[in-house]
Amino acid sequence: MTTVTADPAPSTPPGRSARPSRLRRSWDKHWYAWAMVLPVVIVLAVLIFYPLFRGIWLSFTSLTEANQAAEICTRSITGGEVCADNPNKWEFVGLDNYVRVLTGEVGDFWQWTGTTLIWTFVCVAFHFGLGLGLATMINRPMRFRSLYRVLLILPWAVPAFVSAFAWKFIFNERFGLANALLTAVGIDPVSWFSDRWTALLTAIVTNIWLGVPFMMVALLGGMQTIPGELYEAAEIDGASAWQRFKNITLPGLRPVSMTVVLLGTIWTFNMFPIIFLVTEGQPAGQSEILVTGAYRAAFEGIRNYSLASTYGVLILSILLVFSVFYRRALRKQGEVW
């Protein structure tokens, strides 16, 4: 913290005459910038981009686990190895995979996409809404603030798959707390997983519970960048709490909320474990979202890499389109990125 004390005051007079030339200066800047981003770029290029580009290529082939090798060799325990040409070696198939997926010949692309959109929209809306509300509340001075903060953050600290199991128990149709409470107030117990929408509801509730703490913390952090003087000035001007929230807090949170909404959407769209563990796609695969549906379609039994990649590319495309529109919408309100 001593560094803060050592801060040069902003009032330090500017004006050193011996500035380096413009060209040289920009070179220096770029050199540093590149040095700073290089490690990340290398790691991402090797671990994500190579598989990603390979995935795009695979989506135009028929490659599966069974036909990826040109020849299949069988080693005998008594020594020796017999190799035979793979009769169904993979090949380039053009857009076949996309046609099969989009026409519904394989899987239920459109139903899964619909479910995914509902799932993503509802989850992110509640994450952001509740996260913002709670962050605003516990950002105020009050008694027990630290206690509230820790309690509200706790759901984030439990490994997600344990929480998923906990919620699955709560929604258990026979032994669960949810139905016990309903029965206690005189409502018939609900067969949560017999209907597409109630099944999806259980997963959404679970995911909202899981995701709000993250949003809250991120927004709470964001509120710290808003200068307190703005609030003071507003208060002196007689602005109401709502006006202060609307005119100071929300605009001040823009960079942070833009990031968390954008990434929150992408993550929720691809959120695998909750659907997979809580609803297991029940009833009869109707609560499946794109990632879980694709996983079951492509990775059960002999793994179909080309099919999985096709889904991956479709998911990527949907999210890219979303990002572009999102960015455009934000740009209308002022440049952000």
Subset of residues 41 to 60 that bind another protein, contact rule: CB under 8 A = 41, 43-44, 46-52, 54-55
63, 101, 124, 170: which one binds another protein (CB under 8 A): 170
Q: Is 334 in the site for another protein (CB under 8 A)?
A: no
- The position carrying tokens 């960079």 is 255
**Cis omega before residue 283 (within 30°)?**
yes
Burial of 141 (0-12, 13-18, 19+ CB in 10 A): exposed
Residues 6+ apart with CB under 8 A from 54: none
Q: Select 89 or 273, whichever has its Cβ closest to another protein.
A: 273
Q: Is 268 in the site for another protein (CB under 8 A)?
A: no
200-229: contacts with another protein (CB under 8 A) = 209, 212-214, 217-218, 220-222, 224-229
Which residue from 110, 66, 104, 73 is spatially nearest to 88, judged by alpha carbons? 66
List the structure tokens of 172.
Answer: 């258990």
65-84: contacts with another protein (CB under 8 A) = 65-66, 69, 72-79
Q: Select 113 or 259, whichever has its Cβ closest to another protein.
A: 259
Is 303 strand, coil or helix?
coil
Q: Is 248 in the site for another protein (CB under 8 A)?
A: no
List the structure tokens of 134.
Answer: 């709670």
Instruction: Compute how many residues bind another protein; rule: CB under 8 A.
Output: 152
List the structure tokens of 51.
Answer: 């598989």
CB of 79 to another protein, least distance (A): 7
Asked if residues 236 and 201 have their Cβ atoms less than 8 Å apart, the reply is no
Distances (CA, A) of 22 to 29, 102, 310: 10, 54, 48
20, 24, 28, 247: which one binds another protein (CB under 8 A): 28
CB of 136 to another protein, least distance (A): 10
CB of 98 to another protein, least distance (A): 15
57, 98, 156, 245: which one binds another protein (CB under 8 A): 156
96-125: contacts with another protein (CB under 8 A) = 105-106
Q: Select 40 or 332, whichever has its Cβ closest to another protein.
A: 40
24, 246, 303, 331: which one binds another protein (CB under 8 A): 303
Compute the distance between CA of residue 291 and CA of residue 272 in angstroms, rounded to an integer. Answer: 6
Q: Is 321 in the site for another protein (CB under 8 A)?
A: no
Paired residues of 84 in beta bridges: 72
Compute the distance between CA of residue 136 and CA of residue 145 in angstroms, rounded to an integer. Answer: 12
CB of 112 to another protein, least distance (A): 12
Compute the distance between CA of residue 259 and CA of residue 214 in angstroms, rounded to an integer. Answer: 13
95, 99, 125, 154: which one binds another protein (CB under 8 A): 154
Stretch that binds another protein, among 36-44, 91-99, 117-125 (CB under 8 A): 36-44
Helical packing angle, 305-332 and 254-269, nearest 10°: 160
197, 284, 331, 333: which one binds another protein (CB under 8 A): 284
Stretch that binds another protein, among 89-97, 109-117, 119-127, 257-265 (CB under 8 A): 257-265
Q: Is 158 in the site for another protein (CB under 8 A)?
A: yes
Burial of 186 (0-12, 13-18, 19+ CB in 10 A): exposed
Q: In one letter, which amino acid is 242?
A: W
Compute the distance between CA of residue 285 and CA of residue 269 in angstroms, rounded to an integer. Answer: 17
Stretch that binds another protein, among 89-97, 111-119, 120-128, 317-325 (CB under 8 A): 317-325
